[in-house]
Amino acid sequence: MNSIKIIVVAGARPNFMKIAPIMESFDASDRIEPVLVHTGQHYDEKMSDLFFRQLGIPSPDVNLGVGSGSHAVQTAEIMKSFEPVLISQQPAAVLVVGDVNSTIACGYVAAKMGIKLIHVEAGLRSFDRAMPEEINRVLTDAISDILFCTEKSGVENLKKEGVTASRIFMVGNVMIDTLLKNLEKAKQSPIMQQLNLKPGSYATMTMHRPSNVDNPDVLVGLLDAIEVIQRDIPIIFPIHPRTRNNIVKFKFADRMKNMPNLRFIEPLGYLDFLLLNANAACVLTDSGGLQEETTVLGTPCITMRENTERPITCEVGTNQIVGTDTDAIIAAWTRVQNGEYDKRGIPEMWDGKAADRITQILLDILG
């Protein structure tokens, strides 16, 4: 039997933990021949190569080396360099994950060339079109042929948008495959000793969403809340390049001097950050993926956004959506201290087997 060539696309940091189990599962099947394309959207060692090494992802077969730029420039550059790859590779399908610019850029090129498009993590909706990721999600789903969902809201959203039911598959969460596979390994990380931390005695924080960090008024409100919370507990903050650049640009560096317990560190590798989040008293974030990871780890999560595209993490998990208001964030921290968000349930099919379900379904459809 002929092998089935599938181009797997990855571009930005949150893609890497999603493609790792898919590449492994494809490699283990004797029928699927994966070709890995890295768009180069993220390129710093700590935002990209480190994840490939730690997660055992094979080196990309092709690196488009596109780098940063405005949304239009970045998306267009990815499209321009991806098209010749499809022409020379002639794959049976292209698989994209998540909601970053690389996802829609490569999906768009594939669909226009009549190549089957597979979207992993389909159907998630924040219903907030001010989020660049929401636009990427809606557009990618609209042109995908095979749509894999992580939670039931995704299935329902796609059906409401008119996607034929036979193209939608609930398979669970590939990012959680990676988490469950690496949890034991993460416990070997020296990061707790390096930062001199004891389990349960600190919080971690991530913050990089443009709506939070590109607007000085919003960023000030968040920093005011953080100033209060860090009086109670040390906050470990691996800072994203976008946030670091904006703190300098808005001349906020002086404000940080009033926050001795806010500890800035460089972006961390996957294993170090996993261990820190597993042992944290609380996670403060505006990320999408961390809402899911904290749910599985049983760590209370304060999400500093007005909405979530991952409602299951609030329904059964440890997540609270609190918005960006200073007092609301502080009130959420009080609820965490009162134990209201301690370990709750695990969403359906978040069991470490999502990538194998995807492989089986693709073999049935494309084989």
**Measured distance CA(170)–CA(350) in Å, rounded:** 11
User: DSSP character for 16?
Assistant: H
Whether 287 and 239 have beta carbons less than 8 Å apart is answered as no
Whether 251 and 216 have beta carbons less than 8 Å apart is answered as no
Taking each helix axis as running N to C, give the angle between helix 289-297 and helix 174-186, from 0 to 180 degrees, rounded to the nearest 10: 50
Nearest approach, Cβ of 132 to ligand UD1 (angstroms)?
4
Q: Which is nearer to ligand UD1, 124 or 297 (CB)?
A: 124
Which of 38, 119, 208, 310: binder of ligand UD1 (CB under 6 A)? 208
Nearest approach, Cβ of 47 to ligand UD1 (angstroms)?
4
DSSP β-bridge partners for residue 363: none
Of residues 1 through 60, those in contact with ligand UD1 by CB under 6 A are 12-14, 41-44, 47
The answer to whether residue 208 is catalytic is: yes
**Measured distance CA(211)–CA(209) in Å, rounded:** 6
**Measured distance CA(68)–CA(346) in Å, rounded:** 36
Q: Which is nearer to ligand UD1, 47 or 183 (CB)?
A: 47
Taking CB under 6 A as the rule, does residue 323 contact ligand UD1? no
Of residues 64 through 83, those in contact with ligand UD1 by CB under 6 A are 68
- Beta-sheet pairing, 32-38 with 4-10: parallel
Q: Which is nearer to ligand UD1, 241 or 298 (CB)?
A: 241
Taking CB under 6 A as the rule, does residue 101 contact ligand UD1? yes
Q: Which residue, judged by CB position, is nearest to ligand UD1 in the bound state?
A: 100
Catalytic residue among 42, 119, 208, 240: 208
Nearest approach, Cβ of 332 to ligand UD1 (angstroms)?
21
Q: Which is nearer to ligand UD1, 246 or 279 (CB)?
A: 246
Q: Which is nearer to ligand UD1, 135 or 195 (CB)?
A: 135
Nearest approach, Cβ of 349 to ligand UD1 (angstroms)?
23
Taking CB under 6 A as the rule, does residue 281 contact ligand UD1? no
Tell which residue, 56, 178, 181, has the closest CA to residue 120.
178
* Helix/strand/coil for 264: strand
Alpha-carbon separation of residue 343 from 9, 51, 245, 309 (angstroms): 34, 28, 35, 21
Taking CB under 6 A as the rule, does residue 241 contact ligand UD1? yes
Phi, psi of 34 (to 5 degrees): -80, 140
Q: What angle do CA 326, 231, 273 make, to 5 degrees?
A: 85
Whether 292 and 311 have beta carbons less than 8 Å apart is answered as no
By CB under 6 A, which span of 139-147, 194-202, 237-245, 335-343 interacts with ligand UD1?
Answer: 237-245
Q: Which is nearer to ligand UD1, 13 or 353 (CB)?
A: 13
By CB under 6 A, which span of 51-59, 139-147, 235-243, 246-254 interacts with ligand UD1?
Answer: 235-243
Which of 77, 121, 133, 293: binder of ligand UD1 (CB under 6 A)? 133
Taking CB under 6 A as the rule, does residue 285 contact ligand UD1? no
Whether 23 and 58 have beta carbons less than 8 Å apart is answered as yes
- Tokens read off for 162: 């008119």
Q: Which is nearer to ligand UD1, 133 or 356 (CB)?
A: 133
Of residues 140 through 199, those in contact with ligand UD1 by CB under 6 A are none
Whether 333 and 232 have beta carbons less than 8 Å apart is answered as yes
List interacting residues with ligand UD1 (CB under 6 A).
Answer: 12-14, 41-44, 47, 68, 100-101, 132-133, 208, 240-242
Catalytic residues: 208
